[in-house]
C-alpha cells in the first residue's frame, strides 16, 4: 500500500484568508477602561486579568480604534472583554 | 247562642287549617327556590371567588338573608325575592369568566412587556460575562481581588445563566410567556451575581 505524503505546513491554497474576529457590538455591559499615563496593554491585562500575556484579548476587542497594540493614548477608552 | 259561638270556633279552626295548608304549600317552592339559587352560585366555581369576590359575597349574603326568611316561615317573602337573586346568581358565571379572561390578558401583556426589556438586555450581559470568564480561564493567575472560589462561582453562574437563557428563548418561541419571563428573571439574577463576583461594573 502506498504511504500518503503528509501535507506541507501552511495554509492550503483553497482556504479563505483568516479574517480578524469582529468585535461584538457594544452593550450597556461592555466594560471600559480609560488609559492612564504609563499604561500599556500588558499592564492593563495584568491588572484586569491577572496575566499580562492576555493583552491580545484587549487589542482584539479594540481593533476599530487601535491599529497597533503598542500605541495607546492617555484618556483613550478601551473595551475590556 | 251556643251554636253561634261553636260555629265561630269551627270557622276559626277551618281558617287556621287553610292558612297552615297555604304555608305548607309554599314551603317546598321556597325551599326549591333557595336550592336553585345556591346551585347557580356554585356553578360559577372558584373563578368567582378569585376574580369577582365582591359580587359573590353579595349573592352569598342575600342567600343567607333568604334562608333567614325561610326559617321565619316567610315563604312568600322568599318566593317573591328569589327570581331577582337567581338572576344575579346565574350572572356570576359569565362575570367570573369575563373577569378571568381580562386578568389573563393583562398578565400576558405584562409578561410580553417584561420579555421585551429582558430580551434587549440579557444577551449583552451574557456576552460580557461569558467573555470575561473565558479570558480569565486562560489566565495564569487571577487578578487581585478575585479568589478561586469566587471565580468558580461566577463561572458556574455564567454556565447556568446560558442554559436558562436557552430555556427562556425556547419557551418564548413556543408562546409560553410566563415560563419565558420566569426563566429570564433567573438569568438576570445569576448574571448580576456573576458580574459582582468578577468585579465587573453593571450596565
Average pLDDT over residues B158-181: 98
Percent of chain B at pLDDT > 70 equals 97
Nearest to A58 by CA among A37, A16, A30, A36: A30
- Band of the pLDDT at B13, cuts 50, 70, 90? confident
> Is there a contact between A78 and A72 (Cβ–Cβ < 8 Å)?
yes
d(C-alpha B58, C-alpha B54), whole Å: 6
Give the closest of A29, A49, A51 to B203, CB-based. Answer: A29
A residues 28-57 lying closer than 8 A (beta carbon) to B: 28-31, 46-51, 53-54, 57
CATH number of A32-79: 3.10.350
Give the ipTM of the model, two decimals please.
0.74
Tell if the CB–CB gap between B127 and A48 is shorter than 8 Å.
no
Q: Is the pLDDT of residue B10 over 80?
A: yes
Tell if the CB–CB gap between B200 and A29 is shorter than 8 Å.
yes
Which pLDDT value is given to residue B14? 78
- For residue B152, the distance in angstroms to the closest alpha carbon of chain A comes to 15
Spans of chain A below 50 pLDDT: 1-20
User: What residue in A sits closest to B133 (Cα-Cα)?
Assistant: A81
- For residue B48, the distance in angstroms to the closest alpha carbon of chain A comes to 46
Q: Which of B117, B121, B131 to mutate to test the interface with A (most CBs of A within 10 A)?
A: B131
- Band of the pLDDT at B16, cuts 50, 70, 90? confident
Q: What is the residue extent of each domain of chain B?
A: 2-102, 105-198
Burial of A58 (0-12, 13-18, 19+ CB in 10 A): buried
Q: What is the residue extent of each domain of chain A?
A: 32-79
Q: Is the pLDDT of residue B95 over 50?
A: yes
Query: Which of B62 and A24 is assigned the larger pLDDT?
Result: B62
Which pLDDT value is given to residue A4? 44
Amino acid at each position: 500500500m502506498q504511504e500518503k505524503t503528509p501535507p506541507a505546513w501552511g495554509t492550503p491554497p483553497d482556504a479563505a484568508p483568516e479574517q480578524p474576529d469582529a468585535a461584538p457590538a457594544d452593550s450597556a455591559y461592555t466594560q471600559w477602561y480609560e488609559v492612564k499615563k504609563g499604561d500599556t496593554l500588558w499592564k492593563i491585562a495584568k491588572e484586569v486579568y491577572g496575566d499580562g500575556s492576555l493583552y491580545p484579548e484587549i487589542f482584539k476587542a479594540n481593533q476599530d480604534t487601535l491599529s497597533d497594540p503598542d500605541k495607546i493614548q492617555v484618556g483613550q477608552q478601551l473595551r475590556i472583554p | 247562642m251556643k251554636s253561634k259561638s261553636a260555629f265561630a270556633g269551627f270557622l276559626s279552626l277551618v281558617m287556621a287549617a287553610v292558612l297552615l295548608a297555604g304555608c305548607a304549600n309554599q314551603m317546598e317552592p321556597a325551599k326549591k327556590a333557595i336550592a336553585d339559587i345556591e346551585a347557580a352560585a356554585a356553578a360559577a366555581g372558584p373563578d368567582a371567588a378569585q376574580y369577582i369576590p365582591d359580587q359573590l359575597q353579595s349573592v352569598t349574603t342575600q342567600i343567607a338573608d333568604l334562608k333567614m326568611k325561610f326559617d321565619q316561615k316567610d315563604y312568600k317573602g322568599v318566593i317573591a325575592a328569589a327570581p331577582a337573586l337567581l338572576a344575579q346568581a346565574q350572572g356570576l358565571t359569565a362575570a367570573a369568566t369575563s373577569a378571568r379572561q381580562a386578568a389573563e390578558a393583562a398578565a400576558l401583556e405584562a409578561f410580553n412587556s417584561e420579555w421585551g426589556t429582558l430580551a434587549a438586555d440579557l444577551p449583552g450581559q451574557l456576552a460580557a460575562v461569558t467573555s470575561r470568564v473565558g479570558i480569565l480561564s486562560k489566565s495564569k493567575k487571577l487578578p487581585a481581588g478575585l479568589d478561586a472560589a469566587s471565580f468558580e462561582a461566577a463561572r458556574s453562574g455564567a454556565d447556568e445563566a446560558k442554559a436558562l437563557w436557552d430555556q427562556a428563548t425556547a419557551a418564548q418561541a413556543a408562546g409560553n410567556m410566563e415560563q419565558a419571563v420566569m426563566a429570564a428573571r433567573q438569568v438576570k439574577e445569576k448574571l448580576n451575581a456573576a458580574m459582582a463576583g468578577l468585579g465587573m461594573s453593571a450596565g
